[in-house]
Chain A
Amino acid sequence: MDSVRSDRNGASSRIPVALKILIAGGFGAGKTTMVGSVSEIRPLQTEEVLTGVEGADDTGGVEGKTTTTVTMDFGRITITEDLQLYLFGTPGQDRFWFLWDELSQGALGAVVLADTRRLADCFPSIDYFEQRGTPFVVAVNCFESEQRFGADAVSRALDLDPGVPVVLFDAREPHGARNVLIELVEYVARRQLASAASR
């Protein structure tokens, strides 16, 4: 899994293991905030200013957001010297679907951010990960401690498979985002153990 290289001076530097986690969700659900709140380096911000062009994102309910992610945000968490976690904020618009295939290849799992004001926005992400068999958790971003629905209600509304975790959190708090990631990794480990046991 990990490899060692030697350069001509005889010194060796180990090649770290890198794991990918995708952060998905509808426009304005808090993907950028979440990646930025837990990662060491500034996300690769490639946002463009929203214009009034027809076909642009519908900003109803999320007024005040004037940019949209055009490629991706990325952040890195160093677990140990040999183990790194990469977070990728998936592009929020349909015309960037092609980027998702590459991002989800070999990914550990995904976090689908849900905004209960616009729950339907995360349907495409959920469909996508269900179809690809990518493990995911749904994280309900509670802006300004507003919590209109419980985890069970969200799970029912999204018609999630039993066992898919739903977490309520605040994307702006480092521990909030961190706890969502822990929930995801533990869920992936549970699935792995269950599939190993059923073999």
Chain B
Amino acid sequence: MPADLPRAHDWLDHDAGPVVRPYAMTQGRVAPEGGEFDLVAFVVATAGEDPAGAALQPEHHAIVAASWEPISVVELASALDLSIGVVRVLLGDLRSAGLISLYEPPAASQPHDVDVLKAVVNGLRAL
């Protein structure tokens, strides 16, 4: 940080970004319950009822509303304009509450199927 700080409040304009720090909405938690969520893992809402005492926030509900169709973790973050880390913590809460299912991608060690690669090439050619 530069020693001479800017004058009070001249940074509070449209470019200042959110005034609430990102992890405020996770009560300061930075790691999700029950392990990580891959960037390209898919999330689907389970149509379960909100369990009593789950204390869900608007952001939790926004995630559930966005995931009636399978949606990837990275797209959720982009669509809801939340940081990946925050989305992961909120997803951990929702998984604990039984409100979402999570589908992790195949293990990283598994080689990509050549037929899938051919389908990708054909798909790209058709763009």
Contact = CB atoms under 8 A, between A and B. Distances in A.
Contact of A182 (B70, B103, B119, B121): B121
Contacts of B111: 192, 195
Interface residues of B, number: 38
B19 to A, nearest CB: 17
Contact of A15 (B47, B74, B103, B113): B103
Interface string A73-109: 0101101100111101000000000000011011010
Contacts of A14: 70
A185 B123 CA distance: 11
B108 interface: yes
A46 to B, nearest CB: 9
Contacts of A182: 121, 124-125
Contacts, number: 107
Contact of B72 (A5, A86, A102, A192): A86
Q: Is chain B's interface secondary structure helix, strand, loop, or mixed overall?
A: mixed
Interface in B26-74: 38-40, 42, 44, 46-47, 69-70, 72, 74
A103 to B, nearest CB: 7
Contacts of A74: 74, 78
A41 interface: yes
A189 B103 contact: no
B118 interface: yes
Q: Sort A-B residue pairs by CB-CB distance and give the 10 closest, nearest first.
A: A79-B123, A106-B108, A18-B40, A189-B117, A15-B103, A44-B78, A15-B42, A182-B124, A105-B108, A185-B120
